[in-house]
């Protein structure tokens, strides 16, 4: 199992939320951690390359900037990892995850407008060969998606 450095641990745990909304957020993070900005940027890039972190950036409330939806697909278990990789390759896909259900691959799509959103859903269907179930937001619930990581 990979061992994370103290800097990686702090980046992963302390900055899941509250990315500074400033002209130089990585410099601000670096100051808080007592390291150089380039160290923060290089560490985050490495974590992304290794697949530990999929994305670094702001997350906006649904449909406040552009258009978004929750989507799901029913994918045979033996194809799930392959199909998830295809879905993840779309820039508009915020994240995806597996659920124990007939519809076992769920993902969030965010696009500049409703037209592009629908186009992305159609492209995902075409690339994957599975129907995409579009589940637009009807009611907002605010949950904390941060995880208190335990380092043993």
Tens digit of each residue's pLDDT (9 = 90 or more) over 50-99: 988 877 776 666 666 788 999 999 999 999 999 999 999 999 998 788 99
Name the one residue in this structure whose structure tokens are 């530990």: 52
Q: Which position has the higher pLDDT, 86 or 141?
A: 86
67-135 CATH:
3.30.70.3460
- At 16 the pLDDT is 82
What does the alpha-carbon distance between residue 27 and residue 81 come to, in Å, rounded to a whole number? Answer: 36
Domain edges within the chain: 6-49, 67-135
Q: Does the pLDDT of residue 34 top 80, yes or no?
A: yes
Run of H or E residues at 121? helix 114-128
- At 105 the pLDDT is 96
Model confidence over 7-22: pLDDT tens digits?
Answer: 999 998 888 877 888 9
Angle, CA 70 vertex, CA 26 and CA 84 arms, to 5°: 75
Q: Does the pLDDT of residue 145 top 70, yes or no?
A: no
Angle, CA 43 vertex, CA 41 and CA 48 arms, to 5°: 95
Angle, CA 41 vertex, CA 35 and CA 44 arms, to 5°: 105
- At 137 the pLDDT is 80
- At 53 the pLDDT is 84
> What's the mean pLDDT in 22-41?
95
């Amino acid at each position: 199992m990979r061992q994370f450095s103290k800097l990686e641990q702090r980046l992963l745990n302390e900055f899941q939320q509250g990315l500074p909304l400033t002209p130089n957020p990585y410099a601000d993070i670096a100051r808080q951690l007592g390291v150089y900005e380039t160290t923060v940027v290089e560490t985050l890039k490495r974590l992304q390359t290794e697949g530990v972190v999929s994305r670094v950036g702001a997350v906006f409330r649904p449909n406040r900037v552009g258009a978004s939806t929750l989507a799901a697909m029913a994918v045979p278990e033996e194809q799930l990892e392959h199909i998830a990789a295809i879905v993840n390759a779309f820039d508009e896909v915020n994240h995806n995850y597996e659920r124990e259900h007939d519809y076992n691959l769920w993902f969030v799509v965010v696009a500049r407008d409703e037209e592009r959103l629908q186009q992305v859903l159609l492209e995902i269907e075409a690339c994957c060969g599975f129907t995409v179930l579009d589940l637009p937001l009807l009611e907002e619930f605010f949950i904390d998606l941060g995880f208190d990581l335990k380092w043993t």
